[in-house]
Structure 1
Amino acid sequence: MEATATAAGPSRNPLFHFYANAIKFIAGSSMLVIVVIMIVQVAARYLFNASLIWAEELCRYILIWQTFLLIGFAYHQGELVALDMLGKRVNPYVKLLIRFIVSAPVCVFLYFIIVSGWNNAVRFTGQSIPAVDFIWTSLTGAPAGLPVFWVYVAVPVGCSVLLIHFVVRFALDAYRVATGQDTHDQPAPQEEILPL
C-alpha cells in the first residue's frame, strides 16, 4: 500500500524527505536509548547486585512513542499487513472505489481514537511520571513534575500522523486514476518513494 513514483509525478519532495529523515533519526536514536538503558540495567543487576527501578518504565514510555510516531511512516512504506486479492484484475476506478470503502471506516475510527485519546491524555495532566521524577530527583534533588499527559498524548499524535498518511495516499491514488495512471501495488525501491 505504498505510493511509488511515476514518470508523471515528482519523485523528490524536500519536505517529505525532511520528515522521513527525522522519523528515521527518531527511530534509531530512541532504539539506541532503549538498548543502552537495558544493557545498563542488566549490568547493574547481575554485576553489581543493584537495580535501576526506573529503567523498565522509561523504556516502556519510549517504546509507546516509537510505536505511535512510526506507524504512519510504516504505512507509507508499505510495511503494514495488507490483503489485496484483486490486484491488477480490476480496472483502476473499481480499485479506487474499493480503497475508499476500506479507507473511509479506518479514517473515521482514527478520528474517534484521536478525540478520545486526547480527552484521556488531558485527564492525566495532574499526575507526574514516576520514572522521570525519580531520575530528576536523583540529579537535582527536586522532582521534575513532568505529567503523564506526555505519555498518553502519543496515541492522538500517532493516530493523527497515520490519518494524514491515509488521506494523502487516497488523494494521490485518486489523482493517478483521474490522470489515467494506475495506482501502484508493488513495492518500489526506496529512492522512488513519492511523498506520502
Structure 2
Amino acid sequence: MQHSETADARVRGPIGWYVSTLRFLAGATMMMIVVIMTAQVTARYIFGSSLIWAEELCRYILIWQTFLFIGLAYTKGELVAVDIVPLMLSPRWRLALKALVSIPILVFLWLMMVNGFDYSTRFGHQIVPAVDFIFMSLIGHGVGLSIFWVYVSVAVGSALLALHIIASLVLDWRQLPNAPEKPAPTEAEG
C-alpha cells in the first residue's frame, strides 16, 4: 500500500496525530544523532579527547528509530518488496495473497512482541551507562534509567508494525470495490 505525501497530509484525527508524531520523532532523533556525533568528532579531532557516551547513546537512539519507524515505512511502501506476482493478479486475488503472506508475518511479530517484552523485563535492574554518565557529569548523580527502555523497543516496534499490517489489510479490503484492475506504477517504474 503506497500513499503520496498529499494523501498523508489529508489524514486527520488520531491517525493523523500518530503520523505527525512519528515524523516529528524521526526528525528530532535524527537531529540528536547528528548533534551528538558532531560533538564526538569535534571533541576527538579538535580537543583530543573523546565523549565516551556518544556512541552508546546514538546506538540506542538508532535502535528506537528502527523499531518505531518501520511501520510507517511499511505503510508508505518504502520496504523492499517483490511485486511481480501481485501485479499479475486481479485486486481480489492480490488482497488474498497479501492476507496469506501477512499471516506468518503477524505470527512472527506476535512472538517478537511477547518475547521482546519478556526479555526486556529480565534486565530491568540494569541501567543505561551512557545516560548515567551524562547526568553524573551534569548534576552529580545518575538517574538510573533502566536498560528496559532500550530493549522494550523490540516489543513496541513489533506491535506497531503488526498494527500497520492489519490496518493496511483493512484499508485494502475497504477499497476493493473501487480498486483498479492494474495497480498504478510506482515512482521507480516511471
**TM-score for the superposition, normalised by structure 2:** 0.89
Which residue does 2:124 correspond to in 1? 125
State the AA in 1 paired with 2:162.
Answer: L
In the alignment, what sits opposite 1:51?
50
Distance in 2 (alpha carbons) for counterparts of 1:148 and 1:118: 12
Matching residue of 1:2: 2
Identity %: 46
Alignment RMSD (CA, Å): 2.1
Q: Does 1:141 align with 2:140?
A: yes
Aligned residues: 182
More deviation in 135-144 or 84-93?
84-93
Query: Where does the alignment leave 5 or more consecutive residues of structure 1 unmatched?
Result: 5-10, 190-196
Distance 1:2 1:121 in 2: 33
1:94 deviates by 1.4
Distance 1:58 1:73 in 2: 23
Structure 2 unmatched runs, 5+: 5-9
- Structure 1 residue runs of 4 or more that deviate by more than 6 Å after TM superposition: none
- The secondary structure found in structure 1 opposite 2:123 is coil
2-structure distance, mates of 1:116, 1:105: 16
Cα distance in 1 between the residues matched to 2:144 and 2:115: 24
- Given that 1:2 and 1:185 are in contact with CA atoms closer than 8 Å, whether structure 2 keeps it comes out as no
Alignment of 1:152-191 (within 5 A): 152-177=151-176, 180-182=177-179, 185-186=183-184
Q: Secondary structure at the match of 2:84?
A: coil
Q: Which digits, 9 at most, give the CA deviation of each residue in 1:148-167, with x for residues without a partner?
A: 00000111101111000000
Q: Contact 1:87–1:185 (CA<8 Å) still a contact in 2? A: no
Matches within 5 A, 1:30-49: 30-49=29-48
Question: How far does residue 175 in structure 1 lie from its aligned partner after superposition?
Answer: 1.9
Shift of the 12–38 alpha-carbon distance from structure 1 to 2, 3 Å rule, reads: closer
> 1:139: how far off?
1.2
Partner of 2:7: none
Q: Which amino acid aligns with 1:2?
A: Q
Greater relative CO (CA pairs within 8 A, separation 6+) = 1
CA contact (8 A) 1:2 1:187 kept: no
Counterpart in 2 of 1:89? 88
**Higher helix fraction (1 or 2):** 2
State the distance in 2 between where 1:54 and 1:121 align.
Answer: 22
TM score, norm. by length of structure 1: 0.86
Distance 1:134 1:185, change over 3 A: farther
